[in-house]
Amino acid sequence: MRKLLLGTTALAAAATLSANAALADVSISAAQEWHFISHGSKDASIDGNSFSQDSEIAFKFSNKTDSGLTIAYTVEMESDAGSGGIDESSLTISGGFGSIMLGQNDGVATAYAIEAEDATQEESAGNMASATIRLDTDVALDETDGNKIAYTLPAMGGFKAGVSFEDSGAGTASTDITAYGASYTAEASGATVTIGAATITQEQAAGTPDKDAQNIGVKISSGAATFYAAQSIYQESDEDIEAQGVGASYNLGNGLVISGYTMTAEDSLDAGEEYTSNSIEAAYTIASGLTAVFNVTNYDYKPGTNNDNTEAADDGTISKLVIRATF
């Protein structure tokens, strides 16, 4: 009788553990990048060679309720020394209505914006510390992990859209950020075409114009080739910057992908201020989860004749070797 009771108890405990385990799915992933960077610049403070690294650990939990809702929690931690610890931490509730994200994560615009630089796995830019010129064709203002609420519509065919709001807190100097994004994907003549757009407004103190940013881009994939084209606009008091660029990548097979992009940004309110960048890259998959990337970027910055920053003209080349491991 005692053996039967013990056996029954063990089976009940195992069933309970199994049921609880089924309630929540847990995944842990990590990534580590090691960089060797050779920067040729007129600025002696950044000219030369350097090592750097970027690493991250992500914990993801998900649970499906009896009513059909999916509840997910994600926390991403920057694991480099002095990097600040937790990078993103957010709760997502999703169902037939779409999804709601609450917490510290990117706004929706970053999910829909398409930039020319998406063609390459790595991106380098000149270090114009006091310049306000855009260094890429991505959308501005939404690359913050501040606490926010975001809503994403359920996918309708190839159409996706979302909106997010970040509250900067109490006080008169509000810098709340509102973002909208949408994309549409369709098949055309054997190619997959995606059009993406995003717009963002960051409020400013009374009497100061709000900051606005927009992006529109297209991505066309056909076989081993992918093409990108994008335009972005950034506007604030004394700034009206427009950037445009194109990029492409081609998968040669056997783990080797070649890619590149070219872009230009100009500020119409700072006469003559201009930034151009051209990049080429080769990425090779050494083994599953292990990739080597070699990227070379040439850039040229002209401060113009009516510029309100103290940045000097600069041009140079940035060569970067990256060894990336994912787990």
The domain locations on the chain are: 103-320
191-245 pLDDT, tens digit each: 999 999 999 999 988 778 899 999 999 999 999 999 999 999 999 988 899 999 9
Of 18-27, 95-104, 310-319, the poorest mean pLDDT is in 18-27
Confidence tier at 13 by pLDDT (50, 70, 90): very low
Asked if the 103-320 domain carries CATH number 1.20.950.20, the reply is no
Confidence tier at 8 by pLDDT (50, 70, 90): very low
149-176 pLDDT, tens digit each: 999 999 899 999 999 999 887 766 678 9
Tell me the CA distances in angstroms from 281 to 46, 122, 247, 260, 290, one per residue in order: 22, 8, 11, 6, 17
Confidence tier at 298 by pLDDT (50, 70, 90): very high
Predicted TM-score of the model (pTM): 0.86
Mean of pLDDT values over 253-257: 96
Cβ neighbours of residue 219 closer than 8 Å, sequence gap 6 or more: 114, 118, 193, 194, 196, 226, 227, 228
At 9 the pLDDT is: 40
